Amino acid sequence: MVQNSGPGGIAVLVVLVFFSVYSWTIVFTKWGTLRTARSANSRFLRAFRKANSLEAVMVASEQYRPSPLVTVFDFGYEEVERQVKKSGALTNRPAVERALQLGLSEELAKLERHMDKLATTASVTPFIGLLGTVLGIISAFVALGSQGATSLKTLGPGIAEALITTAAGLFAAIPAAIFYNHFGHKIREMEARMDDFALEFLNMAERGFGE
């Protein structure tokens, strides 16, 4: 049926195959990234809670670099270090909070990278498939009119060929929609974890360098 499709149907199928392959590439990449980040977060958080000072955490943080929490820590630690070098104590808590928020935003942007591509695939490919079906049905009716026949036996194969693009569009869209929602939930969980970590960081900073 694919071989018998017209040029328009073939073009639509090629576009849909591209969308599908691209979205699955994003899915596997994002899956690995989130799994690595989640594991590194757990290990870094255990080390952070066992440490006696921010300096000890800083020394150990390099081995947990895949963790988004390490970036949040780095931003906060740099601000704390500037304040301590200048006045010997933590004098500006809001500045540290802003630094932590910057680190959180940077990591969140990394985690959300390419998520828009999954959303685009989920929302656009069904319509692309439908376009291919409409073009195929038009071609089938044009051929039917030129042959002067009106039987279902004559029209059926053309309609079946046209519906392939709708199926291909759904095949590309459904996994993209599922994983977009799944990854979105995981990213929101990590964002909440980074928010909580920022509070823990501030508590440790105030215990160590508070006035």
CA–CA separation, 160 and 209 (whole Å): 73
CA–CA separation, 187 and 170 (whole Å): 25
Angle subtended at Cα 118 by Cα 187 and Cα 103, rounded to the nearest 5 degrees? 35
The answer to whether residue 40 sits within a structural domain is: yes
The answer to whether residue 211 sits within a structural domain is: no
Q: Would you call 125 exposed, middle or buried from its count of C-beta atoms within 10 A (0-12, 13-18, 19+)?
A: buried
- Counting as low any pLDDT under 70, the low residues of the chain are 1-8, 143-158, 160, 209-211
* Structure confidence at residue 98 (pLDDT): 95
- How many residues does the structure list for the chain? 211
Cβ-based neighbours of 183, under 8 Å, separated by 6 or more: 30, 31, 34, 115, 118
* Structure confidence at residue 158 (pLDDT): 62
* Structure confidence at residue 211 (pLDDT): 53
DSSP 94-154: HHHHHHHHHHHHHHHHHHTTTHHHHHHHHHHHHHHHHHHHHHHHHHHHHHHHHHT---HHH
Q: Determine the structural domain holding residue 90 and report its residue range.
A: 7-206
- Tally of helices (H runs) and strands (E runs) in the chain: 6, 0
* Structure confidence at residue 25 (pLDDT): 96
Indicate the DSSP class of residue 61: G
Domains of the chain: total: 1
What is the model's pTM? Answer: 0.82
The answer to whether residue 125 sits within a structural domain is: yes
The answer to whether residue 132 sits within a structural domain is: yes
The answer to whether residue 2 sits within a structural domain is: no
Q: Read off the amino acid at residue 60.
A: A
Indicate the DSSP class of residue 65: T
Cβ-based neighbours of 104, under 8 Å, separated by 6 or more: 72, 191, 194, 195, 198
The answer to whether residue 68 sits within a structural domain is: yes
